[in-house]
Amino acid sequence: MAHFEPNILERRRQRTLDAWNVTDDIVLIGGGSPISIPGGADQTFPFQTHPEYYWLTGRQREGGVLAYDAREGWTLFEPPLSQSEQVWGGSEAPVGRPIEELESWTKAREGRRIRWLGVTKYSEADPELRDRYLHVRRRKDEAEVSEMRRAVRATAAGHAVAKEMMRSGMTEREIQIEIEAAFYRAGADTVGYGTIVGSGPNATRLHSTPGSKPLQSGEFVVVDAGGMINGYTADVTRTHSVDGVWRNGMREIYDAVLTSQERTIAACVLGAEWGAIHILAARSLAEALKDMNVITVSADEAVETELISLFLPHGIGHMVGLGVRDASGPYPGRKGDNKFAGIRIRMDLPLDENYLVTVEPGLYFNNALLTNTEKREKYRSAVHWEKIEPWVGNVGIRIEDNILVTASGPVNLTSEIPK
Ligand SMILES: [Mn+2]
């Protein structure tokens, strides 16, 4: 069975064809196959079909190919259930035509151009069709928004548990375990990405893997975790203080990120350029750093000289939904290599209706960035270095929500998750 209603898939296929404008070519979209774990005998990494295949088929069975011929429409090919699959189990029952027939199907169309997408065979993916298709997938349909709302409910359950565990002595691992258990209890099939629980020094690194480190009073803990349902995941970050203790400056730093996030979410309207949104968030953070007497230069100067990227070393967000990175990437025709406030954002495009994006400003006092000799020299007089000394390697914050862009303004799908 497909994870989407036939009429939903029909509409997606029509939207895709309208964008492709393919009249005589053959299009093949490969779903892909599980990847072996090196040296793992018959073990494979967890498998999901390629999003380009899944979005148009709703299918998670490995080894399938969706074919399109403008003269005949769409045909789905999947491998029949093998003897071994029937014995060991775990595979979806196949639908469509047996994959063995794909060869004769293409042979019967000899002389016509074949263009591949998804996980390709025999050739590279077609860049033109891929760009157009990616752009079509950016606008979420109602079925996707409804899957997202379910993923958000599961995600909220995990974050609620985490917030209650912010006591000294608790380990990052213990918190991770309870977050993920709550996801599954609330309906998640899996996690959308590796759960991040980073406390104290680990909060200053963007993607810290939880370990045996116990929480200490007065540390910040960055919790970045999302539950996934039917391939759709939320991507939510909250930062908490341990034992409710806020050490010198922590409240101001936290409020700076929160204010930046509120302003940035409000800017997620139709037509807004993502690059400009990144700069808005960065400038807001820089204003706060100026007010706190952390930097000596104006907020505008901190943005123009890229100083702010020492404290905000990542893009302000990305598309989310069908996978945690979903259909980001540049607008058709753009290269995606422009820098904004010192950051090369991968998602260089204007927002449109039903885009679903993360908004995740942060302030990090990361050791590698802030003790770098070259950077210290470059920004020698722009930063009150002695003031930030106690925070370097110890303080990091990120706050992240998932925002649906609509004609009537931004809708925060994850606003119920307490901060
Ligand atoms: Mn994210």
Q: Which CATH number fits domain 142-412: 3.30.429.10, 3.30.70.260, 1.10.443.10, 3.90.230.10?
A: 3.90.230.10
Q: What's the pLDDT at 89? A: 78
Q: How far is the CA of 354 from the centre of ligand 1 (A)?
A: 18
- List residues, by chain if needed, whose CB lies under 5 Å from ion ligand 1: 235, 358
Domain boundaries, the chain: 6-137, 142-412
C-alpha separations of 26 from 9, 23, 64, 75, 107 in Å: 19, 9, 16, 11, 11
Cα of 18 from ligand 1 centre, angstroms: 31
pLDDT at site 112: 96
Centre of ligand 1 to C-alpha 156, Å, is 15
Find out whether 197 and 175 touch, Cβ atoms under 8 Å. Answer: yes
Give me ligand 1 centre to Cα 400, in Å: 7
CA 401–ligand 1 middle distance (angstroms): 8
Backbone angles phi, psi at 179, to 5 degrees: -60, -50
Q: How far is ligand 1, taken at its centre, from the CA of residue 357, in Å?
A: 9
Query: 193 C-alpha to center of ligand 1: Å?
Result: 10
Q: pLDDT averaged over consecutive 10-residue blocks of the chain (419 residues)?
A: 87 98 96 94 92 97 96 96 83 91 97 96 93 96 97 98 98 98 98 98 96 98 97 98 96 98 98 98 98 98 98 97 92 90 93 98 98 97 97 98 98 97
Partners of 363 in the β-ladder: 397
H or E element, residue 287:
helix 274-291
pLDDT at residue number 39: 93
Q: For residue 133, how far is its CA from the centre of ligand 1 (angstroms)?
A: 23
The torsion angles phi and psi of 108, rounded to 5 degrees, stand at -65, -10
Residues facing 73 on adjacent strands: 69
CA of 47 to the centre of ligand 1 (A): 21
Q: How many A from CA of 175 to the centre of ligand 1?
A: 19
Q: What pLDDT is attached to residue 1?
A: 56
Q: 6-137 is classed in which CATH architecture?
A: 3-Layer(aba) Sandwich (3.40)
- pLDDT computed for residue 92 by the predictor: 81
Query: pTM for the complete prediction?
Result: 0.95
Q: How far is the CA of 359 from the centre of ligand 1 (A)?
A: 8
From ligand 1's centre to the CA of 51, what distance in Å? 18
Fold agreement (6-137, 142-412): no
Strands 220-225 and 196-199: antiparallel
Structure tokens at 169: 């002595």
> Is residue 346 within 8 Å of residue 294, measured between CB atoms?
no
Q: How far, in Å, is the centroid of ligand 1 from the Cα of 324?
A: 7
pLDDT at 355: 98
